[in-house]
A = this chain, B = another copy of it.
Amino acid sequence: MTADVSKPIRLALVGIGKIARSQHLPAIDRVGRLDLTAMVSTGAVDDDVRFETLSDLVASGLAIDAVSFATPPVGRFELAVEALAAGWHVMLEKPPTATVSELEELRRVAGEKGRTVFAAWHSHEAAGVGAARQWLADRRILGGEVFWHENVRDFHPGQEWIFAPGGLGVFDPAINALSILTEILPCSLFVEEASLVFPANRHAPIRSRGAFATSQAEARIAFDLDFESAGEAQWDIAIRTDRGVLELRNGGADLYIEGVKQAVARTSEYEALYERFVGLVERGESDVDGRPLQLVADIFLTGGRETCEPFAF
């Protein structure tokens, strides 16, 4: 099913928290085709079109074409199923669902109902990522490193859900790195080894180290992830190839080849995501890339476990 490209897409945004205010609302405002028709939030929202729950929105009879979810990943699946049942297209903040099985089911249901599901990975839209993928496409990968350190107190202050079951802990930010890796590398990744460090009072890991093997036999991508970093946040990826070294720094925003910074067009990651969502809806397509979440699930499945001191925000 394709949509009439002359009409605005009436959008509901669900989950009005930190990321919705800082990224989703400004981006929606800048994308011409989108008409923000409703907001769903259990918290206070200074707007007339506010609903407490998605069920309230469905029951209201308000005309909606699409729903974007910026709620925490646990519980998002049930909401997305409800939205698809109402006949609405669905966009999902990363990670798209709590589990891989849920994501596969959304793909199936969307196909059945002829609606779009878009599992949005905002780091795919970081300024250096597209150029990095092109540069790596015809090179032989020799190895690489992911270094993803930040302090959860700076970027997720008081967000207790992030250390609850399904909250992913350090993999909430690190899944951005994995979404870049699976996007730019011309080979598949498999967990070779991993350590997971859990605070004694939490259900999700705060640190992880390990390595991926790849379908290019000799290439190995090491990772070093920390969610309680003492210094400045650092989100870097380095890939060594048969013809030079590529680096993505600053979460994919900056691209370096052989240590030399490359000119790349500045982007707004979330504006690009919403433009992509509009295009998917227009063409009647879905975009459901489960690989980053699959790698995290595989790390949890096979990682060695350590316990560290309790964590408090």
Contact = CB atoms under 8 A, between A and B. Distances in A.
A198 B303 CA distance: 13
A86 interface: no
B74 A302 contact: yes
Nearest to A165: B304
A305 B306 CA distance: 12
Contact of A101 (B166, B193, B298): B298
Contacts of A298: 98-102, 297
A307 interface: yes
Interface stretch (A31-39, A147-155, A183-191): A183-191
A295 B296 CA distance: 14
A99 B296 contact: no
Nearest to A296: B301
Contacts of A296: 301
Contact of A305 (B105, B168, B198): B198
B99 A190 contact: yes
Contacts of A215: 105
**Number of identical monomers bound together in the oligomeric complex:** 2
Nearest to A213: B78
B301 A297 contact: yes
Residue of A74, A100, A101, A302 with most partner-chain B CB within 10 A = A302
A100 B100 contact: yes
Given A100-B100, A190-B102, A165 B302 contact: yes
A203 B166 CA distance: 19
Interface residues of A, number: 34
A300 interface: yes
Interface string A284-299: 0000000100111110
Given A100-B294, A101-B188, A190-B102, A203 B304 contact: yes
Contacts of A291: 101
A118 interface: no
A77 interface: yes
A297 B203 contact: no
Residue of A190, A191, A198, A301 with most partner-chain B CB within 10 A = A301
A155 B193 CA distance: 27
A74 B193 CA distance: 10
A102 B214 CA distance: 10
Interface in A24-80: 74, 77
Interface of A: 74, 77, 98-102, 105, 108, 165-166, 168, 188-191, 193-194, 198, 203, 215, 291, 294-298, 300-305, 307
16 contacts: A74-B302, A77-B190, A98-B302, A100-B294, A100-B297, A101-B191, A101-B291, A101-B298, A102-B190, A102-B298, A165-B302, A165-B304, A166-B301, A203-B303, A296-B301, A297-B300
